[in-house]
A and B are shown apart, each in its own frame.
Chain A
Amino acid sequence: MAHSKQYQHRTSISFFTVLIVFILMTGGVQAGIEPSKLICRVETDRAILPAGDSQNVVLKITLDAPPSPAHIKRPLVNLALVLDQSGSMNGNKIQQAKAAAIEALTRLGLQDIFSVVVYDTNVHTIVPAQRAGNIQSIINTIQQIRAGGSTALFGGVSQGASEIRKNLESNYIHRIILLSDGLANVGPRMPADLGRLGAALIKENISVTTVGVGTGYNEDLMTRLAQKSDGNTYFVESGFDLPRIFAAELGDVLNVVAKKVKVTITLSDNVEAINIIGREGRIRENQIEFYMNQLYGDQEKYALVEVNIPKSTSGSRIKIAQVDVTYENPFSRKSEKSTGISYARFSSDSGKVARSTNIEVIREYQLNLNALAQEKAIELSDKGKKKEAVRELKQSAARLKQVGSRYNDKELLKEADELEVQADTIEDRGMSPKSRKVLRTESFQMKNQQLSQ
């Protein structure tokens, strides 16, 4: 009997130990499940502003995405590849596109959803949305793609979206990768139309990443579609870069740490919104809003806003704006929130003001202005005003150089040099399709802080 009691005692002790260990373990796991939150920083171009009259200030709202947690299952991906198989793709391009599609497929996990739509004159779903498990049969299907026909780009994207929609309700990262090398000649073909399609798709949390191959495609259309749907855009000159681009893009998609990101900037009284630089947003009374579909791990995305600050006295301190970021955490599937507040101090000491300069804000501001200048140059060149376009680029380069040397910033100086070379090339040989695409893509990537290039 005594023996049995002792036994009971021992079991209860071991039970307790197990329980404690279990609690510790779950606690540990829970600490891992909770990834670090998205950080929102609000900075001005100068930490200390000159006191006196009302003035314009550049606000940089930075979203620092946390790294993707290594030991938690990443959110699942719902990927649709929309591939151009028109006649112009024949040869190396279609071969590389197939290789790129297979590259993308092999990077997906068994639970991810994968579909392939090809388009020429008509649109065909060759791999309907399915789990990326049956890799060999999907690869066989992809290998059978043959090039020929026109370019029904709109129909292709529509069909891709329809494949995505089959799993729209589930908690996936939705993404279409559109590949094209030519002008859309069946279906809507205006950049504005495709932009509207992108704007409609982002409402369903579908982003379209566009990959242009060669120099024959319409970069305006492709960048507009990507921009309006918050996807990425790429320009590759030859097919050989395609597998790399697809891999990079998928690296982004598999690394999403925040979904449905909404940034609301609430300005304090008397602070007035002047302009949004680079990004599309809306100003509503004292609020400025931005929307981003996805943020990738370790990515830094920002928005630049120019505001007007009222009269001030030296030594005073005011709150300029409060920034609220709401987003969906794809790991916990919960809505999360992050806040940043910007204050301004004023001083009449100009040296103090100068020393407080935030070079990062200045740099991004200048680079964004440069992106806008690049777009303007494209516009001017489209109207046949080559000289004005070159002048626009050179002015922008001079400004970058000036600011860069004032703050001794190497990045700005380097960008200025590159831009000058580009301007000279355009001056000598005119705006070639290639340089137009380079300008358009660079300006897009700058404005949207595209991670992989």
Chain B
Amino acid sequence: MTSKRSIIIFWALFLVPTLIISGIAFRLLSHEQERINRSAIQALSERAETISETIHITVEAVQENLTQSLLDIDQDNLKKILLAWEETNPLVRNVFIYQKNRELEYPVRGMESTFEERRFIARYDSLFSGRMTFDFNEDLSKDESKIKGVTESSRQKLVALSRVVQKAPVSEQKAFPFTESEHLFIEKSGWIPWFSENRLHILGWVQKIGNGPVYGIELELMALLSRLVVDFPELPEKEVALLLMDGNGYFMHQSGKMTVDPKEKPVAVVSISNLLPHWQIGVFIDKKGFGSTRGFLYISVILLGVFIIAIVSGGVLLTRLALQNMKDARQKTSFVSSVSHELKTPLTSIRMYAELLLSKRIKDTNKTQTYLSVIVSESERLTRLINNVLAFGKLEQGKKTYHLTPFEMDRLLEQMIQAHSIRIENQGIEIISQIEEGDYKVKTDRDAIEQVILNLVDNALKYADKGKFIKFVLEKDDSFILLKICDDGPGIPKAQQEMIFEKFHRVDNSLTTKQPGSGLGLSIARQILKDLEGDLFFDPMPGHGSCFTARIKHHESD
């Protein structure tokens, strides 16, 4: 018992650290998962920033080029060129020419303009009516870096820096030839993001001469957007999305396959540019099934699980083996003691009677006869026991050889009943023999079958010695001969019924059992029958008593 406990303690010592380690590993893994999530968001945000910078640079380049083109327009044909431009350039939505303190020169207010132009005039009425100057947002556009504020990345700063350097010499250069009449000839230009009816519109204007007309274009935002979204990079991941959002939070374009609810809040936001104010790129991550990185956690957990299962099942296996070994060792010890005991009992009798006979004090011939027969029967018992042990040894090593000879089973059974009838009847047990009419030819090992029958009879005599009868039944089914040996002894408890065929097993396995025995008989009998293509079963008798059925292969005469 102590060793059993020590095995369990050992196992527990083994299991507890495993569980602790796996617990720690799991925590580390989920931290790792969080870190991966964070870095995924970080990476996506960086992508969004790159995109927004690209958009910014593109829009800026578009605006600069448009400004330059506007400045390059021949002032004498201003209206004609502007109109032709509006007609052919997809980026130009509307054009205008405005002279300060005068009526808007183009488009003309009233029915002569198209519906679109009327809307255009209404949109920018505060500019076109002179209530606001065109350069009202000049500070705003010059001081870009301040507006963008803290969130600006180093790269954006670099871009901003390059922009400043780019711009400065241009204005200097332009201003230089006109130093004398600087106020009259300085070129002014600007871009105005304009919100009207809660929608963004962008107006570009230039003034080439100090008191000259202000003219320009309204940018076709949809055409610009249409060109921009085509170059939006595709995201192959299913659980993330980058969404271009306008000032109202409407989704203008999406890359990434995730289905985003319009009410969902992005995990990170990157504003695009002050050229498109309030426009943002939102980073969305599906937290439920962030598969590509969550996969890492799943795989880790599975690995961890396999590891734990391996350790636990290994432990269970080892413990089972250890317990089995202990049981085997106990059974062997018990086997040796019972065999020794078995050997000793007949030896004692033989020796005692032999010594008595040797002393020649016994004159009665009847007595002498009885003693001699006891010696003979005890030697026979000894022989059977030794035969069993030998058979067991051979069976265990797989060295048992069988000599197959044809004979008739009913004849053999009758002979054996005959041979053992005295022994059986001496115990006060009646022999009942039921041999059905028929052909019981077999071709098998006669000695082995004899040993089986002997073991079964011994078994019945040993454990059913209080019984009234022992019944031999021989019958046939399709291909087997069934030999049943039944008694009306105490029977075998249900729980033990399968185990009786195990080697060394005895229903009551203590040394003090009144019945001697090696626990080998049934095991050997079954093994022999199995080797000879038959089998041995146990059937409880109705009421009490047991019945063993040996199945022996029937041999058709050839």
Chain A residues engaging chain B, CB cutoff 8 angstroms: 121-124, 149-150, 152, 154-155, 157-159, 161-162, 185-189, 193-194, 196-197, 199-201, 203-204, 280-285, 291
Contacts of A162 in B (CB 8 A): 227, 230
Contact, CB under 8 Å: A122 / B257 = yes
B229: which A residues are within 8 A, CB to CB? Answer: 123, 154-155, 158, 187
Assuming the contacts A155-B229, A158-B226, asked whether A196 and B250 have C-beta atoms less than 8 A apart, the reply is no
In the bound assembly, the distance between CA atoms of A159 and B230 in angstroms comes to: 6
> Do B254 and A200 have beta carbons less than 8 Å apart?
no
Q: Are A121 and B259 in contact (CB under 8 A)?
A: yes
Verify B89–A196 contact, CB threshold 8 A: no
Q: Is the CB of B226 within 8 A of A161?
A: yes
- Are A186 and B222 closer than 8 Å at their CB atoms? no
Asked if B93 lies at the interface with its beta carbon under 8 angstroms from chain A, I say: yes
B91 at interface, CB cutoff 8 A: yes
Note all chain B residues with C-beta closer than 8 A to A123. 229
Q: B103 contacts which chain A residues (CB < 8 A)?
A: none
Chain B contact residue count (CB 8 A cutoff):
34
Which B residues, 66 to 124, have Cβ-Cβ distances below 8 Å to chain A?
A: 87-91, 93, 111-115, 117
In the complex, chain B residues whose CB is within 8 Å of the CB of A197:
222-223, 226
Query: Smallest distance from the beta carbon of A206 to chain B beta carbons, Å?
Result: 9
Partner of B251 from A186, A280, A281 at Cβ < 8 Å:
A186
Closest to A189 in B: B250
* Given known contacts A158-B226, A161-B226, A203-B88, A122 and B255 CB-to-CB distance under 8 angstroms: yes
* Residue picked from B113, B250, B254, most chain A C-beta under 10 Å: B254
CB distance from B232 to the nearest CB of A (A): 8
Given contacts A161-B226, A187-B252, A285-B112, contact A200 B257 (CB under 8 A): no
Roughly how many angstroms separate A186 CA and B115 CA in the complex, as a whole number? 28
Interface centre among A161, A200, A203, A204 (most CB of B within 10 A): A200
| B90: A residues at CB distance < 8 A | 200-201, 203-204
Instruction: Please state if A149 and B114 are interface contacts (CB–CB under 8 Å).
Output: no
A157 to B227, CA, bound (A): 11
- Which residue on chain A has the smallest CB distance to residue B221? A196
Complex CA gap A80/B114 in Å reads: 31
Q: Given the complex of chains A and B, what is the CA–CA distance between A204 and B90 in angstroms?
A: 7
The contact sample of 11 A-B pairs, CB cut-off 8 A, is A154-B226, A154-B252, A162-B230, A186-B253, A187-B229, A188-B252, A196-B220, A196-B221, A197-B226, A283-B112, A285-B112
CA distance A203 to B85 in the complex (A): 10
Chain B contacts of A196 at CB under 8 A? 93, 220-223
Determine if B193 is an interface residue (Cβ-Cβ < 8 Å): no
Cβ distance A374 to chain B, nearest Cβ, rounded Å:
19
Docked CA distance A162–B241 (Å): 23
Contact A121 B257 (CB under 8 A): yes
- Assess whether A200 is in contact with B226, with CB atoms less than 8 Å apart: yes
Given contacts A204-B90, A283-B112, contact A121 B254 (CB under 8 A): yes
Report A-chain residues with C-beta under 8 Å of the C-beta of B250: 188-189
**Interface membership of B256, Cβ < 8 A:** yes
Q: Which A residue sits closest to B243, measured CB to CB?
A: A186
The prevalent SS among residues of A at the interface is mixed
Interface assignment of B225: CB less than 8 Å from any CB of chain A: yes
CB distance from A411 to the nearest CB of B (A): 30
B380 CB within 8 Å of chain A: no
8 Å CB contacts to A: which residues of B201-255?
A: 220-223, 225-227, 229-230, 234, 241, 250-255
Contact present for A158 and B91 (CB under 8 Å) = no
Whole-angstrom distance from the CB of A58 to the nearest CB of chain B? 18
CA distance A200 to B219 in the complex (A): 11
In the complex, A200→B93 CA distance in Å?
Answer: 8
Minimum distance in angstroms from B28 CB to a CB of chain A: 36
* Nearest CB of B to A174, in Å: 13
Closest CB in chain A relative to B228 CB, distance in Å: 9
Contacting residue for A155 out of B91, B93, B253, CB 8 A: B253
Name the B residues within 8 Å of A194 (CB-CB).
222
* Binary contact track B245-285/A, C-beta < 8 Å → 1, others 0: 00000111111111100100000000000000000000000
CB-based contact A186/B254 at 8 Å: yes
B230 to nearest A CB, angstroms? 4
Residue ID in chain B nearest A203 by CB atoms = B90
In the docked arrangement, what's the CA distance between A194 and B223, Å?
10
* In the complex, residue of chain A having the shortest beta-carbon distance to the beta carbon of B236: A122
Bound-state CA distance A124–B251 (Å) is: 18
Q: Are A187 and B251 closer than 8 Å at their CB atoms?
A: yes
The answer to whether A188 and B222 have CB atoms under 8 Å apart is: yes
Complex CA gap A360/B450 in Å reads: 124
Complex CA distance for A291 and B221, rounded to whole angstroms: 22
Question: Please, which residue of chain A has its CB at the minimum distance from the CB of B246?
Answer: A188
Q: Is the Cβ of A282 less than 8 Å from the Cβ of B253?
A: no
In the bound complex, CA of A199 to CA of B89 (Å): 10
Contact (Cβ within 8 A) B220 A200:
yes
Closest CB in chain A relative to B291 CB, distance in Å: 17
**Residue from A149, A158, A189, A204 within 8 A of B230 (CB atoms):** A158
Q: Is the CB of B253 within 8 A of A187?
A: yes
Q: How many angstroms from the CA of A11 to the CA of B455 in the assembled complex?
A: 131
Point out the residues of chain A lying under 8 angstroms from B258, CB to CB: 121
Residue in B112, B223, B262 whose CB lies within 8 Å of A200: B223
B contact residues around A281 at 8 Å (CB): 114
Most buried by A among B112, B241, B252: B252
Which residues in B have their C-beta under 8 angstroms from that of A150?
A: 254, 259
A202 CB to nearest chain B CB (Å): 9
Tell me which residues across on chain A come within 8 A of B252, comparing CB atoms: 154, 187-188
> How far, in Å, is B150 (CB) from chain A's closest CB?
31
**Chain B residues with CB under 8 A of A291:** 87
Q: Which residues of B are found within 8 Å of A189, using beta-carbon distances?
A: 250
What B residues does A122 contact at CB under 8 A?
Answer: 234, 254-257
Q: Which residues of A contact B262 (CB under 8 A)?
A: 185
The distance from the CB of A170 to the nearest CB of chain B, in whole angstroms, is: 18
Nearest opposing residue in chain A for B226, CB measure: A158
B residues within 8 A CB of A280? Answer: 114-115
Give the distance in Å from the alpha carbon of A162 to the alpha carbon of B253 in the complex: 16
User: Cβ of A158 and Cβ of B114 under 8 Å apart?
Assistant: no
A318 to chain B, nearest CB (A): 23
- Cα of A149 to Cα of B93 in the assembled complex, Å: 33
Question: Which 5 pairs between the two chains have the least Cβ-Cβ distance?
Answer: A200-B223, A200-B90, A158-B226, A196-B222, A162-B230
Q: Quick one: closest B residue to A204, CB to CB?
A: B90
Are B114 and A282 in contact, with the CB atoms below 8 A? yes
B257 contacts which of A149, A159, A187, A282 (Cβ < 8 Å)? Answer: A149
The A-contacting residues of B in range 368-419, CB under 8 angstroms, are: none
Question: Which A residues touch B225, using CB under 8 A?
Answer: 154, 158, 188
B111 to chain A: which residues have CB within 8 Å? 283
Q: List 20 additional contacts besides A124-B234, A200-B220; criterion CB under 8 Å.
A: A121-B259, A152-B254, A154-B225, A154-B226, A154-B229, A154-B253, A155-B254, A158-B229, A185-B262, A186-B251, A186-B254, A187-B254, A194-B222, A196-B93, A196-B223, A197-B226, A200-B90, A204-B90, A280-B114, A291-B87
Residues of A within 8 A of B257 (CB): 121-122, 149
A203 touches B87 (CB 8 A): yes
Bound-complex Cα distance A438 to B284 (A): 39
Q: What chain B residues lie within 8 Å of A157 (beta carbons)?
A: 226
Min CB distance, B46 to chain A, in Å? Answer: 21
Please, which residue of chain B has its CB at the minimum distance from the CB of A283? B112
Nearest residue in B to A262 (C-beta to C-beta)?
Answer: B87
Considering the complex, give the chain B residue whose CB is closest to the CB of A190: B199
A159 — which chain B residues lie within 8 A by C-beta? 230
What distance in Å separates the Cβ of A60 from its nearest Cβ neighbour in chain B? 21
Nearest CB on B from A232, distance (A): 21
The chain B residue with its CB closest to the CB of A194 is: B222
Instruction: Identify the closest chain B residue to A274 (Cβ).
Output: B111
CB distance from A274 to the nearest CB of B (A): 9
How far is A159 from B254 in the complex, measured between Cα atoms in Å? Answer: 13
- Report Cα–Cα, A311/B254, bound state, in Å: 62
State the CA gap A193–B230 with chains docked (Å).
17
Complex CA–CA separation, A194 to B230 (angstroms): 16
Decide if B227 touches A149 in the complex (CB within 8 Å).
Answer: no
Q: With the chains together, A150 CA to B90 CA distance in Å?
A: 28
